[in-house]
Amino acid sequence: MMQPNTPKNRLTQAITLALGLSMSSAWAANAIKDINVDLLTDGSTQIRFIMAEPMQATPSNFVIEEPARIALDFPDTRFDAANKLRTIDIGNVHDVRFAESQGRARAIISLGHSTPYDISLAGNDVILAIKNIGAGNDLPSQANVIEQGVAPAASASAAEQTAATSPQVDFKMGAKGEGRILVNMPSSNTPMNMKTEGKRLIIDMPSTQLKEGQYDVSDFATPAQTVTVENKGQGSRLTVENNVAFENMAYQVGNQLTIEIRPVPAPNANQNNPLAPKTFTGERLTLKFQDIEVRPLLQLLADFTNQNIVVSDSVQGNMSLRLDNVPWDQALDLILTTRGLAMRQNGNVMFIAPVAEIAAQEKARLDLIRQNETLAPLVSDFIQINYARAQDIEKLLRPAKTSSNVGALGAATVAASHGFLSPRGTITVDERTNTLLVNDIADNLQRIRDLVKKLDSPIKQVLIETRIVIATDNFARELGVKWGVTGVNTGSNGTTVYSGNNTATNQMLSNIVGGNVAGNIVTGPSPGFSSTVANRYNINLPVTDPMGTLGLSILGSNVLVDMEISAMQAEGQGEIISSPRVLTANGQPAYIKQGKEIPYQEASSSGATTTSFKEAVLQTIVTPQITPNNNVIMDIKVQKDEPDWTRSVNGVPPLDKREVKTKVQVNNGETVVLGGIYEISNVNQLDKIPFLGDIPWIGRALFSKTLKNSQKFELLIFVTPRIVENGMMTEVQNVQ
């Protein structure tokens, strides 16, 4: 006979009823053998509890509205099935949990939301029908799903018909953000292997052929991003690519394989800080009690969370509380704090007792450990050190100096004074073989072995390549002119002589006074004009170092015109690359240099001279430090000096210095610019005769000289660190 029931918050009344059900017999008379779950055509979910014997009345029940739960209490009943947690995820039902206490069995059904339900009896079975009122739950593709039992013939045929028409691989998002991959298998016992590789989940089905393809499931906002199906031989491989660390679980109901993927919860940064605010992540519940005993209250939390809780006999007393929609772990913390209780967890079992009792137990445990250290036999062992110096590791392991402080601080100092050895332990170093001889108790000796194994690791090396690039670009152009007019004009009023300067005119006057009248123009030492051409130039603006010249002379009866045009253009580009490399261990300084030593004379106070040397070298000085994420921090100095012999003084040249000193962090294998210098020099020069040089066209051609000079200089210094881990020569050859 059906008994309707509606969800009300009657938790206090229900718990009181449930805790009053205690049986005096040591073995319950009835048993829950299994459950079957069906999704009915009207959308409701039916859970059938298969009992060993018929029940005389429907089990007592109560509901919790937040989170939505239905609890059934079966008096004088035990639970015979092995799995006490059944994941359902059908309709509005998430899972069913079972617990046993004081001769009764309790079934807790987790729901997506509160909904009406009916309880009825049918032969040996108890039937719970949960209505599907409310939105938001995805229904499975099968019309009928049976868990842990044999389905009726009609249900089985409906499932097979649906499976035949549904896709072989489907994807859905669960209520808690997990991704669910649904695979239709050929039978209920098809073999499959599942493994993880980083953020990838691989499922091999050696005897199942699936339709190949790749599915983008990133829009579902689950860890899964893509699902790839590929056939391999007679089987298939299903690969799931995830974007975060994940947990996975697989289970099969009938012919449907379900693979759940959920993100791993982020670690709590404050979990090791006792002063930091506590973070609670448990499922939420509502508790409203007046003067309830603490022990039944803890038992209620154990049933709700499916946790194993052991409560000390000394936990007594009553309390009243009203907690509305709080995480269960916060509720437990409040109960423990209010009653002066503490909790210690060992595996999946929580032990709850008064604070003083737990402190006494821990003190007794520590005393037992100290006693074992005092009585345990000593064991000797040789520990070979491969990479480090045995003396350095021995300093870390040997006892520190004992402080004379007393009190709490003194006790802490004494406890730490033995270092990593026990109070009876000793350690000796054999420098010849780089070996440690340790004599200690067996437990501590193993701890020392593990510690030495971590410390005695090869030091990473760094290959550091620096590159100094010097680039130059020069351009120069000059245009110049020299010209002059020399002549003699004899008239009735006398003789006029003109030329480039007085030297030329004096020579000509001397020839005239001597009786040699310049009737004809001659050259050389013969009578006539000056023998020196340079003295005949009126305008003398030549190119300093011409690449080409053009001379022109015009000789008349009494006039000589001399002209010379000169020009020069020079272009040059240069690049100098210097690339020193050095290999060094992590944290160890290293340098490499190459160059010359230039001698020079120095005079002493006594007048004697000595020969000294100064270096003109290319060198790199560096100390690398490798960070845990494989970056390299470098204190580095790069220097390149070159002698400039064109400006030497007494045979000793000055040095052109190029140097950078800095501290920089670089990713492994990447190149970074340590620094650079960029210089540009532009010179435009015009030499001219005043006023005459300003005459358009003529002034620029006959009375001026132009100079254009452009110089560019660029210096760049690069550095590339490479971490050498698996062999120095291989890495160096790769760089070469």
The DSSP bridge pattern shows strands 77-79 and 30-39 to be parallel
> Which residue shows structure tokens 């051609």?
701
646 SS3 class:
helix
10 SS3 class:
coil
Residue 31 has pLDDT above 80, yes or no: yes
List, in sequence order, every residue forming a beta bridge with 64; answer none if it has no partner: 69
Percent of the chain predicted with pLDDT > 70 = 82
Q: Which of 13-17, 65-69, 451-455, 559-563 has the lowest mean pLDDT?
A: 13-17
Residue 266 pLDDT: 62
Can you name the CATH fold of 30-130?
Immunoglobulin-like (2.60.40)
Rounded mean pLDDT of 468-482? Answer: 90
Residue 228 pLDDT: 92
Residue 712 has pLDDT above 80, yes or no: yes
Q: Give per-residue pLDDT as tens, 496-507.
A: 777 777 777 777
Residue 134 has pLDDT above 70, yes or no: no
Q: Give per-residue pLDDT as tens, 545-603.
A: 888 888 888 877 778 888 888 998 888 888 888 889 999 988 899 989 888 888 888 87
670 SS3 class:
coil
Closest CA to 468 of 673, 733, 723: 673
Q: Give per-residue pLDDT as tens, 164-195.
A: 334 478 888 877 778 888 888 887 777 777 88
Rounded mean pLDDT of 331-357? Answer: 89
Domain residue extents for the chain: 30-130, 169-263, 288-370, 460-481+538-735
Q: Give per-residue pLDDT as tens, 256-295.
A: 888 888 887 665 555 556 556 778 888 888 887 888 888 8
Rounded mean pLDDT of 235-244? Answer: 89
Q: Angle at Cα 171 formed by Cα 167 and Cα 175, nearest 5°?
A: 140
Name the DSSP class of 255.
T
Residue 138 has pLDDT above 50, yes or no: no
Residue 161 has pLDDT above 60, yes or no: no
pLDDT band for 433, please (50, 70, 90 cuts).
very high
- Evaluate whether 30-130 and 169-263 have a shared fold: yes
Q: Give per-residue pLDDT as tens, 373-432.
A: 788 888 888 999 998 889 988 888 886 554 444 443 333 344 444 578 888 888 999 999
Closest CA to 186 of 206, 202, 171, 214: 206
Rounded mean pLDDT of 354-383? Answer: 87
pLDDT band for 148, please (50, 70, 90 cuts).
very low
Rounded mean pLDDT of 357-381? Answer: 86
Residue 332 has pLDDT above 80, yes or no: yes
Rounded mean pLDDT of 137-148? Answer: 34
Q: CB neighbours of 492 closer than 8 A, spacing ≥ 6? A: none
Residue 86 pLDDT: 85
8 Å CB contact between 657 and 678: no
Closest CA to 634 of 593, 598, 592, 590: 590
* Average pLDDT value over all residues in the chain: 78
Q: pTM for the whole thing?
A: 0.46
Output the six-digit token pair for 238: 């299903």
- Domain 169-263: which CATH number of 2.60.40.3470, 3.40.50.720, 1.10.10.10, 3.30.1600.10: 2.60.40.3470
- Residue 67, preceding peptide bond in cis (omega within 30° of 0): yes
- Tell me which of 508 and 14 has the higher pLDDT: 508
Residue 430 pLDDT: 92
- Domain 288-370: which CATH number of 3.40.50.620, 3.55.50.30, 3.90.1560.10, 3.30.70.100: 3.55.50.30
Residue 143 has pLDDT above 70, yes or no: no
Output the six-digit token pair for 514: 């001597």
Closest CA to 689 of 703, 707, 706, 705: 703
- Tell me which of 725 and 317 has the higher pLDDT: 317
Burial of 622: CB neighbours in 10 Å, binned 0-12, 13-18, 19+:
buried
pLDDT band for 688, please (50, 70, 90 cuts).
confident
Residue 636 pLDDT: 92
Residue 608 has pLDDT above 50, yes or no: yes
Q: CB neighbours of 52 closer than 8 A, spacing ≥ 6? A: 30, 31, 32, 33, 80, 124
Residue 98 has pLDDT above 70, yes or no: yes
